Amino acid sequence: MKHFEINGKIREVGNKAVIKAIRKQGLVPCNLYGQGMENVLFTVSDRDLQGITNTPASYIIDIKLDNGQTYMAVVHELQFHPVKDNCLHVDFLAVSEDKPIAIKVPVVVSGHPVGVQKGGKFVLVSRAIRVSALMKDLPDTLNVDVTKLDIEKRIVAGDIKLDNVTVVSPKDTIICTVKSTRNMTQVADENAEGAEGAAEA
């Protein structure tokens, strides 16, 4: 999986007024935590964070702090303003190369579904699926071939098979499907009526 580097400045625990002042400076309060370590509070510029927040891609985040400390992490939670949609807070989870990492990976579909060729409509239900693997085995994307996907059929998370990667999302999580359209239903009804008429004749 690709890495993305951000530079942060250590901050102290603050009340609402302090946090508000931080945000007015174009900075986003962040929290880094992990097993066996104390929480690390820091800030990152909103502009630098956009490389993470404004993309469907997932990354291993290389955090470089102004006190000389460096960490590897993944995004655990993002909080956005309900109206302005700017990032208000980020929780990072520290990770290492020798322990499995659970992270959402974007779905990339390829192929032209046979069901669409018959008149159905392709629907991508899940744009990302959560997986777990060692850092060296984490894929940048989950490639799903939809060529054989027929009408009213679906591909679910349990259908994904990757070496050294475990799918964490529930196996019945629908990734994509091909739905029949109203026009197709109408044609099918007309064909059925025609067949019945021919049989009666």
Return residue ranges of the chain for CATH 2.40.240.10.
Answer: 3-95
pLDDT at residue 112 in the model: 95
pTM above the 0.85 mark?
A: no
pLDDT at residue 201 in the model: 44
pLDDT at residue 199 in the model: 46
In this structure, whether the domain defined by 3-95 belongs to CATH 2.40.240.10 is answered with yes
Question: Which of 143, 161, 152 has the alpha carbon at shortest distance from 113?
Answer: 152
Could you list the pLDDT tens digit for every one of the 201 residues in the chain?
A: 999 999 999 988 877 888 888 888 989 999 999 988 899 999 999 989 989 988 889 999 999 999 999 999 999 999 888 888 888 899 999 999 999 999 999 999 999 999 999 999 999 999 999 999 999 999 999 999 999 999 999 999 999 999 999 999 999 999 999 998 865 555 555 555 554 544 444
CATH number of 102-185: 2.170.120.20
Largest CA distance in the chain: 89
DSSP string, the chain: --EEEEEEEE-----HHHHHHHHHTTEEEEEEE-TTS--EEEEEEHHHHHHHHTSS---EEEEEETTS-EEEEEEEEEEE-TTT--EEEEEEEE--TTS-EEEEEEEEEES--HHHHTT-EEEE--SEEEEEE-GGG--S-EEEE-TT--TT-EEEGGG--BTTBEE-S-TT-EEEEEEPPHHHHHHHHHHHHHHHHHHH-
Return residue ranges of the chain for CATH 2.170.120.20.
Answer: 102-185
Angle at 128 between CA 127 and CA 133, to 5 degrees: 160
Tokens (6 digits) for 192: 């059925």
pLDDT at residue 64 in the model: 96
pLDDT at residue 186 in the model: 57
Tokens (6 digits) for 17: 């007024």
